[in-house]
Amino acid sequence: MSDKRQSSHVQSQRIPESFRENSKTELGACGWILVAASFFFVIITFPISIWICIKIVKEYERVIIFRLGRILQGGAKGPGLFFILPCTDSLIKVDMRTISFDIPPQEVLTKDSVTISVDGVVYYRVQNATLAVANITNADSATRLLAQTTLRNALGTKNLSQILSDREEIAHHMQSTLDDATDDWGIKVERVEIKDVKLPVQLQRAMAAEAEAAREARAKVIAAEGEMNASRALKEASMGYHRVSCRPSASIPSNPDHYRCREKLHHCLPSARRHVAGHHGF
């Protein structure tokens, strides 16, 4: 309950002073005279004035009516039929549908001193027609300009690697920033997307060369690991053949000469190398 009261209080603070005091402030004697004269004119010209006084608003539109320069109590009207006085009332139509626009390519200097060109797209809609008319001259133009500055400010605090990898996070940050800034204008920013990030040609060549060097380094590491595994297999095979050749036979009596492996090593290793080479196809 307290949250609802707080939100209604904040909403009332955003409404212009003239609209908040409209219920307490009278039109004055001259105002009432003009309203009565306009109403009398409608009556005496009734068959014709009906086409001027009755207006139709579409489902996706709202109308703000000004009577002698003041917004009528109740805010925006529509959709459907409504009645105006021809001489004292003026109206402004507001489109409530979602509007999209492209952010022109912006030259941005990143945190690591790289100049890039970034563009995007913004989707927004008018949430409060009264605020969109009374608080700002042109809500559409103001939102477009604010989106450009927000894009430059958001990308100026990021490195190039962060911009290329964290597009969704940057877009969400831009959406929340724009939504907070345009809240007083009655604008709701629904979505922000970063379309393209264009790098300088020299930087593209440098990044391609770096990627190629990294691939060559990985290839050399894989080749070295293969040679190391082959040499390890050769060593293990020679050691196994040496143990078999140095094992004493059960039919021959135990003799110290059979345990002199160092003398037989020169005779065992060449045949082991030939055996392993023939097995692995070296």
* Predicted pLDDT at 141: 93
Residue 187 and residue 139 in contact, taking contact as beta carbons nearer than 8 Å: yes
Distance in angstroms between the alpha carbons of the first and the last residue of the chain? 83
Residue 193 and residue 171 in contact, taking contact as beta carbons nearer than 8 Å: yes
> In whole angstroms, what is the distance from residue 7 CA to residue 173 CA?
23
* Predicted pLDDT at 165: 86
> In whole angstroms, what is the distance from residue 20 CA to residue 14 CA?
10
110: how many CB neighbours lie within 10 A of its CB? 18
Residue 27 and residue 75 in contact, taking contact as beta carbons nearer than 8 Å: no
Domain limits of the chain? Answer: 28-95, 98-199
Q: CA 233 → CA 21, 107, 170, distances in Å?
A: 93, 58, 52
* Predicted pLDDT at 242: 64
Burial code of 187-213, b = ≥16 C-beta within 10 A, e = fewer?
bbbeebebeebebeeeeeeeeeeeeee
CA-based angle 238:239:245, to the nearest 5? 90
CATH number for the domain formed by residue range(s) 98-199 = 3.30.479.30
The structure tokens listed for 237 are 């095979």
Which residues fall within 8 angstroms of residue 237, CB to CB, at 6 or more apart?
A: 272, 275, 276, 279
* Predicted pLDDT at 110: 86
* Predicted pLDDT at 206: 66
Q: Which residues of the chain register pLDDT less than 70?
A: 1-27, 203-209, 211-212, 240-282
